């Protein structure tokens, strides 16, 4: 009798490795839905992103100035939240074989503040043939939702995903 490793079951941040091969275009179905685990946005996230991106706008870096702003405090960079949502969704969706992000349509609906916890809700919205027969194109609708249930960002991503070879 073999022992079960504690990380083998019910871990949202690790993909199953082993018996399940990565998905191909044919495996994804319109209407498939995914909900990520939550993640709290921290001051460290914002400071590091400001350094990496070079975006030191007062919205993100000046606590005193932002106290008298509409938001009342510093807010996360929109592109930081866009990046976090990609990582969250990647932890949730099954692995896809040979995938390429080819398009993005995105709306920034509301602020994400230090200490907000966000998660992603996603749905396969469309599938179609791509220009080359070895690829299919998939549209994924995404919504970033905060701890209050408010949609703070939303949009669509377009992906090329490899097909099974005949």
Q: Where are the domains of the chain?
A: 22-162
Domain 22-162 annotated CATH 3.10.129.10: yes
Q: What is the DSSP string of 103-114?
A: EEEEEE-S--BT
Q: Give the orientation angle of helix 78-92 with respect to helix 43-53, to 10 degrees.
A: 110
Structure confidence by residue, pLDDT tens digits, 46-86: 999 999 999 999 999 999 999 999 999 999 999 999 999 99
The model's pTM is 0.85
Q: What is the mean pLDDT of each successive set of 10 residues along the chain, which is 166 residues long?
A: 42 49 92 96 98 96 96 97 96 87 97 98 96 95 98 97 87
The dihedral region occupied by 134, where left means phi > 0, alpha psi between -120 and 50, and beta the remainder, is: alpha
């Amino acid at each position: 009798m073999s022992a079960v490793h504690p990380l083998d079951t019910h871990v949202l941040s690790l993909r199953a490795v082993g018996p399940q091969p990565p998905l191909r275009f044919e495996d994804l179905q319109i209407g498939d839905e995914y909900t990520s685990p939550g993640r709290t946005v921290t001051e460290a996230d914002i400071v590091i992103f400001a350094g990496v991106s070079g975006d030191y706008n007062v919205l993100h870096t000046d606590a005193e100035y932002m106290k008298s702003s509409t938001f009342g405090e510093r807010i996360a960079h929109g592109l930081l939240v866009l990046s976090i949502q990609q990582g969250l969704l990647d932890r949730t969706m099954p692995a896809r074989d040979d995938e390429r992000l080819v398009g993005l349509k995105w709306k920034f609906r509301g602020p994400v503040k230090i200490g907000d916890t966000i998660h992603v809700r996603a749905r396969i919205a469309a599938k179609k043939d791509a220009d080359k027969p070895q690829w299919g194109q998939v549209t994924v609708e995404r919504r970033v939702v905060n701890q209050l249930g408010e949609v703070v960002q939303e949009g669509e991503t377009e992906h090329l995903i490899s097909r099974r070879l005949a």
